[in-house]
C-alpha cells in the first residue's frame, strides 16, 4: 500500500472521557443546578458563606491533613510536578524524563481529593481567626480520587461541603451542622435518609482504646481476612469498617469505643445526642463508624440514602479540632461534612425526584423578511420577560416549523407571517391541544405570563 493510501484509511482517533470521569448532560444538569441552588439557599439560612478554593494544592497539605497512610493519600491522589519548580530545574540542564521522580515531596502538587484541608489552609492564610468566630464556610465542586470506578464511585466526583472553624467546641455546633445537612436533604425530599453517629474520642482516650482493640484483634487474628490482619498493625480502627461476612460475628464481640471514652469525650458525646434530640434530628448510634481520614476526633457521622447499592454513603463528616494547628495555624476547633453530590443526584433520580425535562416555552414560527425582524424583536422581549424561546435561524415552512416545535417539547408556537405582522395580531398555537388564538403584542405577553403562572 502506498503511503498516500495508508493515510487515507487512517481514521481520526475518537476520544472518550477518561475512565472514572463522565459528562453531565441536560436534562440531568437541571437537577444538579436545583440541588446546588437549594444548598446555597439552605446554607445561607444557617449563616454560611461560600468559599471557592483552588482545585490543586501542595501534595504535602493533603498528606499532613488527611494522613499519609490513608488510602486517599497513599493510593488515590493525582499528583504532578509543580511547573514552576520544573522550569527552575530544566534551566539547570537536567533531563526532563527524570524530573517527576527527582522532585522532593515538597515540590509536588495534587488534585484535591477533598476540601477540608484547603479550607483550613485558607483559614490560616487569610488570618480568619481575626474574624468573628466561628467562621462558617461552604463549598461545592469537583474532587479527584483514583478509586475503582463503579456505580456511585467516580475518579472525578463532586462534593458539597461545609466547615465551621474557630470558636468553641460546644456540642450545639456539632448538632447544628448535622441539622443543616438534614434540613438540606429534607428540602430536596431525599428518600430513606439514615443518620449514623459515633464518637471516636480524642488524643487522650483514643490511643488507649486503639491499643486495647489491637490486643483483642491479635487474639482472633487467625480468623480474620488478609486486609484486616494487615490493619491490626497499620490502623486497627479500620477493621471495624470491614464488610466481610465472615468477620462480622468476630467484630460484634470487640470492645466498643463508647465504653472507653475519657470523661470529657463522653460528656461531649452525650451532649451532642441531647442537642440533636432538641432539634428533632433522628439518629442511630453506630459504634463501628470510623472514618477513612486521620483528622477526626470525637463526633463522626455518616448519612446513607436509598437506591445507592453498596456505595450508599451520601455524606460524611465529623469534628477535627487541632487540624488547623497541625497545618501551622493557631489552636482551632473545627467540624464539617461533605456530601457526595453524584450520589445525592443518583438517589433523587432513583426515587423519581428528578424534574421532568423542560421544553421551550415558545417556538417562533416565522416566514417572510418582515416577519423575521418582528420575530427577532419578539424573541428579545419574551426572553427579557423570562420565557425560554426558540427562534429558528432560517425561514421554514409553517408545517415544518410546527413539527420542530413539537420535537423540542415547546408549549406554544408563535406564528408570524406577513398577515400577522401587517395586522399587528399575532397567532399563538397551544401545541398540546392545537387550539389557536390571536393577540396584540402586549396581550400576548400578559397571556403567556398567566399561562406560565398556571403551569406546574
Ligand atoms: P469522605 O467521606 O471521604 O469525607 O467523602 C464525603 C462523601 O463524598 C462520601 O460520603 C461520598 O458521598 C462522596 N465520595 C467520596 N468519594 C467518592 C467517589 N470516589 N465517588 C463519588 N462520591 C464520593 C470527606 O471528603 C471529608 N472532607 C468530609 C468532611 C468535611 N469532614 C469534615 N469536613
pLDDT higher than 70, residue 86: no
Q: Ligand 1 atom closest to Cα of 163? A: 33
| Averaged pLDDT for residues 44-64 | 97
pLDDT higher than 50, residue 95: no
| Averaged pLDDT for residues 84-108 | 53
**In this structure, what DSSP letter does residue 153 have?**
B
- Distance from Cα 426 to the centre of ligand 1, integer Å: 54
| Strands of the 56-58 sheet, one edge to the other | 56-58, 108-111, 79-81
Distance CA 146, CA 16 (A): 18
pLDDT score, position 69: 86
Protein residue with least CA distance to atom 1, ligand 1: 316
Distance CA 340, CA 95 (A): 41
In 3D space, the residue among 79, 60, 45, 344 whose CA is nearest the CA of residue 180 turns out to be: 45
Choosing from 140, 316, 323, 342 the residue with most ligand 1 atoms within 8 A of its CB, the one to mutate for a pocket test is: 316
Range scoring the smallest mean pLDDT among 76-85, 140-149, 267-276: 76-85
Protein residue with least CA distance to atom 13, ligand 1: 340
**In this structure, what DSSP letter does residue 236 have?**
G
pLDDT score, position 102: 54
| Averaged pLDDT for residues 29-38 | 96
| Averaged pLDDT for residues 51-64 | 97
Give the DSSP letter string of 243-312. --GGGHHHHHTS--GGGG--HHHHHHHHHHHHHHHHTT---EE-TT---SSTT-EEEEEEEE-TT-TT--
pLDDT higher than 60, residue 96: no
Protein residue with least CA distance to atom 18, ligand 1: 153
pLDDT score, position 82: 77
Sign of CA dihedral 49, 320, 235, 60: positive
| Averaged pLDDT for residues 42-46 | 98
- Distance from Cα 116 to the centre of ligand 1, integer Å: 10
- Distance from Cα 342 to the centre of ligand 1, integer Å: 11
The pocket around ligand 1, CB under 6 angstroms, is made up of 114, 116, 145, 147, 152-154, 157, 159, 161, 163, 293, 313-318, 336-338, 340, 342-343
Range scoring the smallest mean pLDDT among 52-66, 147-161, 223-237: 223-237
pLDDT score, position 355: 76
- Distance from Cα 121 to the centre of ligand 1, integer Å: 18
% of the chain residues with pLDDT over 90: 83
Q: What is the pLDDT of residues 228-248, one digit of tens each?
A: 999 999 889 989 988 899 999
- pLDDT, mean over the chain: 92
Give the model's confidence band at 4: pLDDT under 50 very low, under 70 low, under 90 confident, else very high.
low
- Say whether 316 sits in a helix, a strand or coil: strand
- Distance from Cα 315 to the centre of ligand 1, integer Å: 6
Residues, the chain, total? 456
- Distance from Cα 144 to the centre of ligand 1, integer Å: 10
Give the model's confidence band at 291: pLDDT under 50 very low, under 70 low, under 90 confident, else very high.
confident
117 versus 85: the higher-pLDDT residue is 117
Protein residue with least CA distance to atom 25, ligand 1: 114
**In this structure, what DSSP letter does residue 356 have?**
P
- Distance from Cα 340 to the centre of ligand 1, integer Å: 6
Q: Is the pTM of this model over 0.85?
A: yes
- Distance from Cα 310 to the centre of ligand 1, integer Å: 15
Distance CA 345, CA 22 (A): 14
pLDDT higher than 50, residue 417: yes
Protein residue with least CA distance to atom 10, ligand 1: 315
% of the chain residues with pLDDT over 70: 93
- C-beta separation of 130 from 330 below 8 A: no
| Averaged pLDDT for residues 235-263 | 93
Choosing from 159, 195, 296 the residue with most ligand 1 atoms within 8 A of its CB, the one to mutate for a pocket test is: 159
- Distance from Cα 157 to the centre of ligand 1, integer Å: 9
Amino acid at each position: 500500500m502506498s503511503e498516500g493510501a495508508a493515510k487515507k484509511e487512517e481514521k481520526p482517533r475518537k476520544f472518550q472521557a477518561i475512565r472514572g470521569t463522565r459528562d453531565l448532560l441536560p436534562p440531568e444538569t437541571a437537577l444538579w443546578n436545583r440541588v446546588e441552588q437549594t444548598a446555597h439557599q439552605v446554607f445561607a439560612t444557617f449563616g454560611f458563606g461560600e468559599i471557592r478554593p483552588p482545585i490543586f494544592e501542595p501534595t504535602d497539605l493533603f498528606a499532613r491533613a488527611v494522613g499519609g497512610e490513608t488510602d486517599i493519600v497513599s493510593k488515590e491522589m493525582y499528583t504532578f510536578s509543580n511547573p514552576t519548580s520544573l522550569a527552575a530545574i530544566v534551566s539547570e540542564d537536567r533531563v526532563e524524563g527524570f524530573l517527576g521522580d527527582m522532585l522532593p515531596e515538597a515540590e509536588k502538587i495534587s488534585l484535591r481529593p477533598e476540601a477540608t484541608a484547603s479550607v483550613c489552609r485558607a483559614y490560616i492564610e487569610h488570618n480568619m481567626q481575626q474574624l468573628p468566630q466561628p467562621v462558617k464556610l461552604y463549598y461545592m465542586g469537583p474532587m479527584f480520587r483514583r478509586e475503582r470506578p463503579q456505580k456511585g464511585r467516580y475518579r472525578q466526583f463532586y462534593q458539597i461541603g461545609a466547615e465551621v472553624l474557630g470558636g468553641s467546641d460546644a456540642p450545639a455546633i456539632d448538632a447544628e451542622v448535622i441539622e443543616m445537612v438534614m434540613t438540606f436533604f429534607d428540602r430536596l425530599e431525599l428518600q430513606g435518609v439514615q443518620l449514623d453517629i459515633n464518637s471516636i474520642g480524642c488524643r487522650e482516650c483514643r490511643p488507649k482504646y486503639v491499643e486495647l482493640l489491637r490486643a483483642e484483634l491479635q487474639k482472633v487474628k487467625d480468623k480474620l481476612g488478609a486486609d484486616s490482619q494487615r490493619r491490626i498493625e497499620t490502623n486497627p480502627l479500620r477493621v471495624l469498617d470491614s464488610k466481610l461476612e465472615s468477620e462480622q460475628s468476630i467484630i460484634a464481640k470487640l470492645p466498643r469505643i463508647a465504653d472507653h471514652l475519657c470523661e470529657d469525650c463522653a460528656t461531649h458525646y452525650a451532649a451532642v445526642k441531647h442537642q440533636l434530640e432538641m432539634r428533632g434530628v433522628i439518629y442511630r448510634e453506630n459504634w463501628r463508624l470510623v472514618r477513612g481520614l486521620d483528622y477526626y476526633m470525637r463526633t463522626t457521622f455518616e448519612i446513607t440514602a436509598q437506591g445507592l447499592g453498596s456505595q450508599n454513603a451520601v455524606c460524611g463528616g465529623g469534628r477535627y479540632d487541632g487540624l488547623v494547628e497541625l497545618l501551622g495555624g493557631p489552636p482551632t476547633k473545627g467540624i464539617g461534612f461533605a456530601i457526595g453530590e453524584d450520589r445525592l443526584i443518583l438517589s433523587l433520580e432513583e426515587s423519581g425526584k428528578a424534574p421532568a425535562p423542560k421544553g421551550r416555552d415558545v417556538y417562533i414560527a416565522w416566514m417572510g423578511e418582515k416577519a423575521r425582524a418582528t420575530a427577532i424583536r419578539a424573541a428579545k422581549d419574551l426572553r427579557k420577560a423570562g420565557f425560554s424561546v426558540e427562534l429558528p435561524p432560517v425561514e421554514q415552512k409553517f408545517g415544518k416549523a410546527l413539527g420542530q416545535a413539537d420535537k423540542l417539547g415547546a408549549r406554544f408556537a408563535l406564528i408570524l407571517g406577513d398577515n400577522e405582522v401587517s395586522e399587528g395580531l399575532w397567532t399563538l398555537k397551544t401545541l398540546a391541544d392545537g387550539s389557536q388564538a390571536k393577540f396584540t403584542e402586549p396581550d400576548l405577553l400578559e397571556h403567556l405570563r398567566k399561562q406560565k403562572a398556571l403551569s406546574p
